[in-house]
Amino acid sequence: MRVVVVGAGIAGLACARALLDAGLDVGVVERSRVVGGRMATKRYDGRRADIGAGYFTVSDPRFAAVARRWREAGLAREWTDTFTVHSGGEVSRTTGPVRWSAPGGLRSLVEELASGLDVVTSRAVEWIEPGPRVDGTAVDAVALAMPGPQAARLLDPRLRETWAVADGQVWLPSLVATLVYEERTWTEFHGAFVNDHPVLTTLFDDGSRRGDGAPVLVAHTRDAFAERYVADALAAGEEIEAAVRELLGLPAAVGVHVHRWTFARPSEEGQAPFHLDDGMVGIAGDAWGVPRVQTAWLSGTALGEAIAARLS
């Protein structure tokens, strides 16, 4: 039995791991040159910064076991349960679940999941048709681990049910700016929710998050702001930097790097853990529940187990 997983983010690799554990022949195809998806870590001037997911939380027992494994391996750590809130000129603090971070960047966690799997990077799948067939090659099942609009582009319209599910998802964009400073001059905080701001939604002290104390902040923007910079994300850097400078009363950053996520997050929470049609084509990811890292892992794992059960 041969199963192809398209997408090497955490959902895709969790799916592949479940399939491999069930004794199936599984391969993962990823169009980017590295695994990780939106658990993205990028190197700027020799230092890594997380530019996708900001952290992860743990509430499910199965995912908790994975988090413990990462912690025991030195890949993840419990970071903070307290964030700052900026709202209408007022600053307060809020406590919630413990946020976890990764000293080597969140992508290192996905790389750990990929260990031992057959993963091909820098390869784009072009077409999935009934059979199922992937770029003309017959397989026993296909798992798409990606935002619905991206999946819809790959699906033959004859896969009517799955295409409709994928195309029905609405995703919102975001820009993420990594801001490098000469020194740490801000009042200590870990992360911040920014309410009712025309540019910013969340802000992270990446030196705190990574544990190295580097003078680096990572800012995430609102979808409406990101829509203004579809053609040139870098052009937004000056405005994002100015917004952070004004919010925290900082000197100018000495380095600004901007990344655009066209599909940053789903506009609505999903109601099912995954989708799998009668033709053995499925979709998983963080759109299938509350958009979180844990949701993506659970969704991918559940889809892998469902495919394995049907093929058995």
Q: Tens digit of pLDDT for each residue in 116-163?
A: 999 999 999 999 999 999 999 999 999 999 999 999 999 999 999 999
How would residue 45 be classed by pLDDT, with cut points 50, 70 and 90? confident
SS3 298: helix
Do residues 136 and 238 share a domain? no
Q: Which one, of 11, 58, 26, lies nearest residue 302 by Cα?
A: 11
Q: Which domain holds residue 160?
A: 2-39+106-169+270-311
Do residues 120 and 253 share a domain? no
Q: CA-CA distances (angstroms) from residue 24 to 2, 119, 243, 299?
A: 7, 15, 50, 18
Residue 94 lies in a domain: yes
What is the spatial distance between Cα 86 and Cα 209, in angstroms, rounded to a whole number? 19
Residue 62 lies in a domain: yes
pLDDT tens per residue across span 201-216: 999 999 999 999 999 9
pTM exceeds 0.85 for this model: yes
What is the spatial distance between Cα 309 and Cα 42, in angstroms, rounded to a whole number? 37
Residue 44 lies in a domain: no
What is the spatial distance between Cα 170 and Cα 59, in angstroms, rounded to a whole number? 26
Q: Which one, of 309, 99, 116, lies nearest residue 301 by Cα?
A: 309
What is the spatial distance between Cα 9 and Cα 154, in angstroms, rounded to a whole number? 17
